[in-house]
Amino acid sequence: MSSLRWCLILNGKCAGDMPLREAVAAMRGEGIAVEVRVTWERGDAERYVAEAIEHGVDTVIAAGGDGTFSEVAGALAGRDADADTLPTMGLIPLGTANDFADAAGLPIEPLAALQLIRAEKAQSIDVLRIIADGNTRWCVNMLSGGFSAKVSADTNSRLKQRLGGIAYLLTGIAELGNIETQPARVAASGLDWQGEFIALACGNGRQAGGGHVLCPDAYIDDGLLDVTIVPPPDGDVLATLGTLLNEGTVAALEQAAVRRQSRSVEIHAPDAFDLTLDGEPAMASSLRIDCLPRRLRLHLPPGCPLLSSPAR
């Protein structure tokens, strides 16, 4: 019989998910002690993580969307302890876009996700620490700003439930005529850029907003974040955004984007602008983003494409 102890932190919106209930029961049937905690409001995940560490669990599992994943990961990454002394982390993707899980090749089915956590050794990954107007936040996947963030924030939750990731595309197309550029200064290693942008991203992972690849060369274990800035092109802004939404983001980035890799980046704007941090909306005018190398240990599939040297 297994002696493993897990704490599964579940987004309250997903509490009725029957495949997840059945998967948890199956793991318990194999001798794994699975404690389930349901989040209701901000701060719950941090409290549950602290309790899990106190109880000596082996693995903390986030069950929900990218925002739940980020909240649980941030609660672990923010602890005053080495990553090797903290519980490992797993993810059951139950959100709409599941951008991180999609790019990482993680299984969507709860039972398969739990079986992977049991079978695969955790890999050390980086985490982004963000100081936004003096407040500390965390990201595992990506911070995005400008048009892409506005689309994510404006996409109706009911539409997302009904249509999944395509809801972001439909919202983006509907808002093409209302796009405004944002002035900012972006400073990173080998980059001191100032001007107007229509979208920017600081990625540990590669995609956001329902599958839009904003940082195509990013890895989650290389100690670097990837910076992408999309300034207004010389031609038609709407045409570029249409390419971004309809033909794939990578094609648009190749045409117009400024891209760099750096351990940290600072962004300063005269006014607060729209942001998303792992899918969660925010606003800020001054940010510092630092990549903290090997800050978490995450269970990932063999050959995960987000690892610079995928485990086999």
Active site residues: 280
Helix (H), strand (E) at residue 124: strand 122-132
Cα separation, 246 vs 80, whole angstroms = 44
Report the C-alpha gap between 286 and 195 in whole angstroms. 15
- The answer to whether 201 touches 227, Cβ cutoff 8 Å, is yes
Among residues 262, 202, 219, 220, the alpha carbon closest in space to that of 127 is found at: 220
Which residues, in sequence order, are CB contacts of 99 under 8 Å at separation 6+?
66, 141, 142, 205, 207, 208, 209, 210, 211, 279
Rounded to the nearest angstrom, the gap between the alpha carbon of residue 94 and the centroid of all alpha carbons in its chain is: 13
The one-letter amino acid at 181: T
Structure tokens at 34: 């699975």
Residue 252 DSSP code: H
Tokens 């090997």 belong to residue? 294
Q: Which amino acid is at 91?
A: L
Residue 237 in contact with residue 178, Cβ under 8 Å? Answer: no
How long is the chain?
312
Angstrom distance (rounded) from CA 31 to CA 26? 9
Q: How far apart are the first and last CA of the chain?
A: 26
H/E element, 66: helix 66-77
